[in-house]
Amino acid sequence: MLFSTTVPDLEIHMANEPIALFISPTGQINPYKIKAKGRYFTINKKKLRGIYTINNKYAYRWGKTPIYFYAVQETNTVDPIMINELNNFKKKNKLTEIRRKDIKHASRFRTLLNQMKYSDAITDLKKTSEMKDTDLQKAIELVKNEITAKISDLELKHEKTVSVTEGQRSYLLLEHLRETQQIDEKQYAEFMNKIEGNILDYDGIVDQLKQLNVVTISEPLDENVEDFIQDLGSCNAPDLAGHVQDLRTNKKGLKDMTAAPVKSFLPASILFVIILGVLIGIPIMVSQWPLIENQLQSGGQAGGQGAFKMPWDLFNGGGFIFTLKSFLGLI
């Protein structure tokens, strides 16, 4: 094909509304015009649905048009530069994947490096992590013994076998670790989601907890990247609830606040016809230029001998009338 079927660049550049570029896992980029109300906009397509947050901190500019990047699976704005920095962090630390504990360790390591030299900082980090790991393993063993003792008491009381599900064991363990502040609220929520989704059982949670305080980093994390990670995982629940309520009560409904895909500013078929017409017209006009000059000097007497012909006149009488409309099938 000579031309792409869509050419949205000019449409994006001239847009009055902000533009959201959605990046799929396969690397395909789909542009949308944002119809925002406050900090949120809505996408309502078959393969892309959700309420997305606008963060001006990560806005780019295409001319005067603000551009926001989104990963299809994330509802918060992403920053390609910060994503690249995260990839560099992963490579420097020889990680196969970046986990929350790696971010926490790298953040702590950065703080320690401001206070002491590298060797002392990494030693201090590992020592502190080992102490936390010892306390965590004690807590896991404590909860395990408490569950066993509780089951024994119930069986003795009711004189029958009492069973405790994997989910119940996991819940009791996580509740204890949260109450003793050995895991934070985000870690607790992540583990609970994996339990409810049957992604992890009790033994799987224990295995992951054992890795929680193992230091696998040797390079710090830039403060700007850590800030980006916090923004990526943030959610203002009351504000979002207010937006959802607006969606319900808006007279024009969901459509009024839903982003629209960016369409081609100039379809390729029309672009082809325009260029083809120019290519045909230029040599014709050049070949008839003496007649054109003569016609202009004589006052343009229509129908006279030797009068120059316009491009469409050349095709008349030969059984073929070339017009833009007929070429496009509009008549």
Write out pLDDT tens, residues 176-215. 999 999 988 888 988 998 888 888 888 999 998 888 899 9
Nearest to 32 by CA among 55, 15, 53: 15
Residues 199 and 114 occupy one common structural domain = yes
On whether the pTM is more than 0.75, the answer is: no
Q: How many CB atoms lie within 10 A of CB 41?
A: 24
Residues 166 and 197 occupy one common structural domain = yes
Residues 44 and 169 occupy one common structural domain = no
Count how many domains the chain has. Answer: 3
In this predicted model, what pLDDT tens digit does every residue of 93-138 receive, in sequence order?
Answer: 999 889 889 999 999 999 999 999 999 999 999 999 999 999 999 9
Q: Is residue 3 part of a domain?
A: no
Residues 90 and 222 occupy one common structural domain = yes
Q: What's the whole-number average pLDDT of the chain?
A: 77
Residues 284 and 306 occupy one common structural domain = yes
Whole-angstrom distance, CA of residue 118 vs CA of residue 109: 9
Mean pLDDT of 47-72: 86
Sequence-distant (6+) residues with CB within 8 A of 322 are 311, 312, 315
Residues 188 and 243 occupy one common structural domain = no
Q: Is residue 1 part of a domain?
A: no
Residues 294 and 243 occupy one common structural domain = no
Residues 48 and 33 occupy one common structural domain = yes
Residue 147: the pLDDT is: 85
User: Residue 267 to residues 11, 138, 263, 272, 288: CA-CA distances in angstroms?
Assistant: 12, 67, 9, 9, 32
**Domain housing 61:** 9-76+235-261
> Which DSSP string do the residues of 98-138 spell out, in sequence order?
--HHHHHHHHHHHHHHTTS-HHHHHHHHHHHHHHHHHHHHH
Residues 197 and 301 occupy one common structural domain = no
Residues 117 and 133 occupy one common structural domain = yes
Whole-angstrom distance, CA of residue 228 vs CA of residue 194: 24
End of a domain among 213, 232, 251?
232
Residues 218 and 90 occupy one common structural domain = yes
Residues 300 and 316 occupy one common structural domain = yes
